[in-house]
Amino acid sequence: MDTEFIAEYIPLYVEASRLTISIGLIGIVLSLIVGLLIAFIQYFKVPVLRQIAAVYIELSRNTPLLVQLFFLYFGLPKAGISISSEGCAIIGLCFLGGSYMAEAFRSGIESVGKGQEESALALGFQRSQVVRYVILPQALSVSIPALCANMNFLVKETSVFSVVALADLMYVAKDLIGLYYKTDEALLMLVISYLIILLPISILAALLERRLRYAEFGN
Amino acid sequence: MEDSIDEVNHMAEQSILLEAKNIVKDYGQGRVLDDVSLQIHKGEVIVLIGPSGCGKSTFLRCMNGLEQIQSGQIVLDGEVITEGKTDWPSVRQKIGMVFQNYELFPHKTVLDNVILGPVKVQGRDKKEVTKEAEKLLERVGLLEKKDAFPRQLSGGQKQRVAIVRALILKPEILLFDEVTAALDPEMVREVLDVILELAAEGYTMLIVTHEMQFAKAVADKIVFIDGGKIVESDTPEKFFTQPKTDRARRFLNTFIYEKETGGEKL
């Protein structure tokens, strides 16, 4: 193991981690927004949008991110739309994550009984108030473990971004291997980098889950 | 002459708080309510009884728009509320409802459950509502539970909170949908006592229940429903002692138990 090599190239990994984290974070936030929006569209059974959402979910969940990125990066320019590497990465991640987040929110919303909605309506709440004060708070606590798992998943998916020429962690590792044949060192640093990014998310998720279990509502 | 008759009619109508006119409700293929009409006067307590699935709960749920009716009219305070686009949220503030399964909000404390409606729906001052809520909770003997969560309460306590939650909106009429059906027998009493008190105070109520003794005690009028139709309606004295219809008689008999007299016939 060449420790000197490792020490020399750590800054490259730090730089790449920064990119992975920032794009991952933006992608996660956008996925959460898209997911919540779609969950609402399904909950309120909005005509037309509801069908579009269903098609989107199937499309997003049944195609690999790699293929989605190819489409954005190589396909769209042929139609006259060209998007930067970062743009492709963010849109791709959000396109993939949105459907997963939507499903997580949906399962949370569905776990809140119909009776809760009815009792709130019977008190004179508007439907939007029912969602805000009664359904969402309960749904979120059920959804959180799934939402955390999705975040973890999305960060891991960033490892394919090198195909749109982004210098992310995977890209740096491949580059170093190609240049210096230091396969062991490059891969070790890659694994450690991902662990440093992902472990906190997993630990946070576990903590949250435990707290939620203690605060379990039940009737 | 005609004028005075009109006036009399008008007077009679005035005291009608809620009226259901020829309500029809279908679920898919089946007809759940078939041309049901009922008038509820101010201060009146009407108890709906009937076998399971007869449509009595559905009727209650139609009154505050939780179920949509296929035809008929609902009139509240002389206004037809089922024509055009109904503003259900404001109608429902006048028609309170308590459910079989309590349906308290599990993520909120007892006090927050009670004040959520007045504060968010009616936009009232939180401090003032809190005071009022505490007074009501005290009345049902649950003031010391105000900071507890619903999961920490017994069924009877939950149901009393649910009643307070409906009361604080100052509804003109209260609907009770089998509110003791999910309770252990020893908790039934504490909930029914609260309802009896409300009746004594002159609240207008429409109650669905299987507690016949309670029905007898609280009702001004018993309405017996079967197969989606009102079969019979009468004062409790008359209904329970001399029901007019065979169907009602058979129904009431299911509540009577007689000791087997042994051996001979079974």
Q: Domain limits of chain B?
A: 29-106+172-253
By the CB < 8 Å criterion, does B97 face chain A? yes
Is a pLDDT exceeding 50 seen at residue A109? yes
CA distance A213 to chain B (A): 13
Res B84 pLDDT > 90: no
Give pLDDT, residue B13. Answer: 53
What's the rounded Cα separation, in Å, for the pair A212 and B213? 44
| ipTM of this predicted structure | 0.88
> Does A116 sit within 8 Å of B105, measured CB to CB?
yes
Q: How many Cβ atoms from other residues are within 10 Å of residue A148's Cβ?
A: 19
Question: In this model, does residue B2 exceed pLDDT 60?
Answer: no
CB contact under 8 A, B107 and A217: yes
Mean pLDDT value across residues A107-128: 94
Mean pLDDT for B147-152 is 93
- Enter the tokens of residue A30: 């956008």
pLDDT at B7: 55
Tokens of B200: 């004594």
Whether B235 has a pLDDT exceeding 80, the answer reads yes
The per-residue pLDDT for B164 is 97
**Which amino acid makes up residue B79?**
E
Is B165 in CB contact (< 8 Å) with chain A? yes
What chain A holds in terms of domains, given with CATH numbers, is: 3-214 (1.10.3720.10)
Is some CB atom of chain B closer than 8 A to the CB atom of A11? no
Residue A134 touches partner B, C-beta closer than 8 Å:
yes
* CB B74, CB B20: distance < 8 Å: yes
Overall average pLDDT of the B252-258 stretch: 84
Task: Tell me the average pLDDT across A164-187.
Answer: 89
- What is the interface size between A and B, counted as CB pairs within 8 Å? 74
Q: Which residues in B lie closer than 8 A to residue A134 (C-beta atoms)?
A: 105
Long-range contacts of A177-182 (CB under 8 A, 24+ apart): A180/A5, A182/A2, A182/A5
Q: Where do runs of H (alpha helix) occur along chain B?
A: 2-14, 56-63, 88-94, 110-116, 126-139, 155-167, 185-200, 212-218, 236-241, 246-253
Percent of chain B at pLDDT above 90?
A: 80
Identify the pLDDT of residue A1. 77
The reported pLDDT for the residue numbered B260 is: 61
Subunit contact A219:B116, Cβ cutoff 8 A? no
Topology given in CATH for the domain delimited by B29-106+172-253: Rossmann fold (3.40.50)
Could you give the dihedral angle defined by the CA atoms of residues B127, B130, B136 and B142, in that order, rounded to the nearest 10 degrees?
-150
Mean pLDDT throughout B41-68? 93
For chain A positions 198-217, those within 8 Å of chain B (CB to CB) are: 216-217
Per residue in A123-162, pLDDT (tens digit) is 999 999 999 999 999 998 889 889 999 999 999 999 888 8
First to last CA, chain A: 58
Which helix (H) or strand (E) segment is A117 a member of?
A: helix A114-122
Strand order in the sheet with B204-208: B95-98, B173-177, B204-208, B45-49, B221-226, B229-234
**What residues are paired with B226 via a beta bridge?**
B229
Q: What is the mean pLDDT of residues A68-94?
A: 91
Would the pLDDT of B104 be above 70? yes
End-to-end CA distance of chain B: 65
Residue of chain B minimizing CA distance to A219 = B151
